[in-house]
Structure 1
Amino acid sequence: MTLVTGERGIGKTLLCMLVEADALSRGIRAVRHGEGDYALETIAWLRSLYAGFGLPLPLSAEANTQEHLVDGLATGLGRLTHHVNHRFLWILDDAEELSDDDLAIVMRLLVACEKAGAPFHIMLAGEPSLRERLAGPDAPELASRIRSRLPMGPLNGEESERYVRHRLHVAGTTQMPFSRLGLRSLRDDGKGNPRRLNTLAHRALERAAERGERSIGERALSFVVREALPQHAQYWLRRFRKPILVAGILAAVLFVGGAATWFLTGHSPSRPKSLVTATPEQALEKFKDALPPPDVGKVRVWGELLARWQITSKETSVANAINCDATIFPGFACVSGRGSLDQLRRFDRPIVLELDETHAKQQVLLVGAGDEAVRLYLGGKYVELTREAFAQVWSGRFYAVFRVDPAMPLKLARGDTGEGLAWVLARLPRDPGAPTATPPTSFDRSVEARVLGLQQRFGIAADGVVGPETMFALSSLETDGPHLARGVP
């Protein structure tokens, strides 16, 4: 008998399947049972061994007891051995689910086959708890029959990366979707477990597709770990149990606030519900039905927006961000105003849109915009709606957040100097026809001309002054941060 052990998801079932597939070519008849078979009565899976090894099933009721089935199976295999040169293998996957009574029957069959002269082998595959169970003082008699042990350990770092690259190659991709740090984070968080690696990679790719992101980095993987691994929150709770107790009521309030923010943000579905093909009346009716209560929807929408910017509860709260102050916290600003979908589309950033008064000024998140349709997050689900239909419920009001230099003043105009000017100059598009020169040290006429060009390009009031909307436009030129989803028609 062989014992194969390893953590859940390490590849034991795959190994069992490969052994079963390769057995016949080596003159071995194999039968594989798993957790689903053990849920049946013992007599049922004993009878399935007859069919698996090619033996006729006993028909009489007297021969369908456990004892008769075991003896009949051993006798049949012994008789079959004299006619064909075959060995017999019984693979028991998920063997930790077997009760002591079931293991006793396995032992009885093994002994009966020895007496009948049948070359009968058993492969037990289970989690480490099975190994501990068979090594304990109350171990079943079966433990003494184990001749070889195969512990399956986790992949090391290099093997984990090779595994991810192999899976991507099999899937047919020609580009690595993970950045160098993202791949390293996936490797570390996967902990060498193929199933865990699959879960994290699949959710990371799915999330990147939802957001139209071409490269998955370390921060995105950190978000996916919190979302895809249920035990993650419990791990941090155990790790910081003593500091929480010492901090007392204050720490408890912070923890509850963070947990409330997480749960109220909701989780996005894999695919948006398309209302594009419905008539405008039907689409708007379904759109209204999908809207959550205004207060709940607003919290979830702003929570999703902050999550896309990878803003944590340590930096600010959803309740604080909803106020849309000019500076939410140093380096992160908010701007509000009125505009058209075409104008907001140029910014290429997710933006909160406020519906008209008929819909209680509810807020939704614009996550994608095309020539004919928009993709919206309603605070619980995604929908796609034609621009024509959405224009009937949107008031034109929007709220947007963006990263900015903490030293940036609220406004920069001609004649101003300072650190904020350097941030503006680093992002202002240069005039292709202008000669390359040293950057100006003050907000002069040339800078004003470049600001006017940018404002005209984004449809902002062209006054040559760098205000909140112009800062948002400059920030949107950066590749970092979330962008509108691609593929919206």
Structure 2
Amino acid sequence: MFAREREVLAHVEYELGASDHSVTLLTGEAGIGKSLLCMLIEADAPQHGVRCVRHSADDYALGTVAWLRSMYAGFGLPLPLSADANTEAHLVDGLAAGLGRLAHHVNHRFLLILDDADGLDNEELSIVERLYIASGKAPAPFHLVLAGLPTLRDRLAGPGALALGEHVRSRLPLNPLNAEESERYVRHRLHVAGSTQMPFSRLGLRSLRDDGKGNPKRLNALAQRALERAAERGEQNIGERALGFVAREVLPQHARYWLRRYRKPILAIGAMLSILFVGGFAVWVFTGHSPSRPKSFVAITPEQALAKLQDALPPPETGAVRVWGELLARWQVSSKDTSVANAINCDALIFPGFACVSGRGSLDQLRRFDRPLVLELDDAHAKQQVLLVGAGDDAVRLYLGGKYVELTRDAFDRVWKGRFYAVFRIDPAMPNKLSRGDSGEGMHWLALHLAPNDPKLAEPSIFDAATETRVRNVQQRFGIAADGVVGPETMFALSSLETEGPHLARGVP
């Protein structure tokens, strides 16, 4: 055993002797040695007068009732025979009462070790907590050791943690082996296996140690595959180069590992993707059409164009989700920031630093904003939403939620009555409105956008008469009501002056 195992065993032994109740949390990454420690604790417990039961993932798979019944047998208690007593609540209470009676007569202490406890769901962990509390009321000296991945530690700590976390007295992280311990571990395993000589060269052993990252499971997997490969090739000495080849086969972060493990499915998927790619390319070449190339309705009459537009529109709900999803993608907003369903509501602040504004305007006004915007069609088209991605003097380019089309402005004016929605990035400190006399938060952002090329004017200041004049000039330039007040629409206009972010497509006639 290394120092870490001895420390954990000594700590658990101390908890068993120092109090009647304790919960110890043992966490570490997969393969670090948690199960071995659980077995060592189980083997050491009887020497201290402790009756111990150890369960793992195989026991949890039996179901909660069968799992609880197995604890009766483990602690030497008679199983309840009544059908009514074989419910989770009755089994927990009966187990605690039985442990209390047993402790009173034979003066035993009890230890429950739950290995792979990260595999227990929240309901099962609440049952464990109930058993722990019930044993304290019985009373029965009851100790609990939980072993699992670091995710278990996160579930039992911090805001919103499970109630069981409140009873944890000791949190013992199982750290990886250091370089010296890793090498000792490999030598020990070879000695146990009966090896009389070291099959790894000095550089090979160092490579094995480095790639193993102090994880016994990784060390075992690398060493075993290296020995198999050496036996296949008749090699007597395993060097650094061989270990590098083995690491690419064994460790999941290398593509070779996945190719070796899932070779047939990967080949099948690759073949299907190749067929789809070749087929799509052939369609693109021979038809002259690309899925992303806009379909032009410019050369036909407005009536014909509107009929084709109606046929191309998806269902309104589907179209809205796709259109807003495309708009968020163009702004490089990920699902971690917000959802499409949340963005569709167009709240004034979708999330800190990202705002939404809605209003009415003309197509020429929207061209001045030079940003992709969501446009709402008239009632005859069920207020369908489309994305304006380009606008010229004679035509507009729209994304309908699956395909791009180009319409003449005359045809589009027949189905759009001016309603639009726009998103933009904004300083999180910016208030909802700024007007003459205001100061403080938001003034720095406003001054920078009103005078981006004048460092003196870019300093935060009070909203004075000169600032109000500049705001009115911007509002007149963008066709906004020139009231000198910086509201959501004016903020959107100012943000559109930035070069960053998406812009309307060029080259639309």
**What TM-score comes out, normalization by structure 1 length?**
0.48
With a CA cutoff of 8 Å and minimum separation of 6, indicate the structure with the bigger relative contact order: 1
